[in-house]
Amino acid sequence: MIIFKTCYLRDERGLTLVEVLAVIVILGIVTSVAVLSFVGVREQVVVDVCHANGVELI
C-alpha cells in the first residue's frame, strides 16, 4: 500500500509557478506585438482615408 501511495504522489499533474509565469510572459509579448501591429494598421487607414477624401475634393 505504501508503494502505491508514493507512486500516486509522483504521478500528480499540475503546473509549477515558473511554468505559469512563463506562459504569462509569452502571452504579454504576443499581446504587445498584436497591439503594435493594430496601431500601425490604424494609422495607415487614417492616411488612406485622408488621401481618398483629398481625391474626392479634386
Question: Using one digit for the tens of pLDDT, what is the confidence trace for 6-51?
Answer: 555 555 678 899 999 999 999 999 999 999 998 888 889 999 999 9
Instruction: Give pLDDT, residue 27.
Output: 97
Instruction: Tell me the C-alpha distance between 21 and 42, whole Å.
Output: 31
- Tell me whether residue 7 is in a domain: no
Instruction: Give pLDDT, residue 54.
Output: 86
- Total tally of structural domains belonging to the chain: 1
Among 5, 7, 23, residue whose Cα is nearest residue 15: 23
- Tell me whether residue 8 is in a domain: no
Residue in this structure with the C-alpha cell 487614417, named with its chain if needed: 46
- Tell me whether residue 47 is in a domain: yes
Instruction: Give pLDDT, residue 12.
Output: 66
The residue among 1 and 53 whose pLDDT is bigger is 53
- Tell me whether residue 2 is in a domain: no
Instruction: Give pLDDT, residue 5.
Output: 55
Residue 24: give the domain boundaries: 15-57
- Tell me whether residue 34 is in a domain: yes
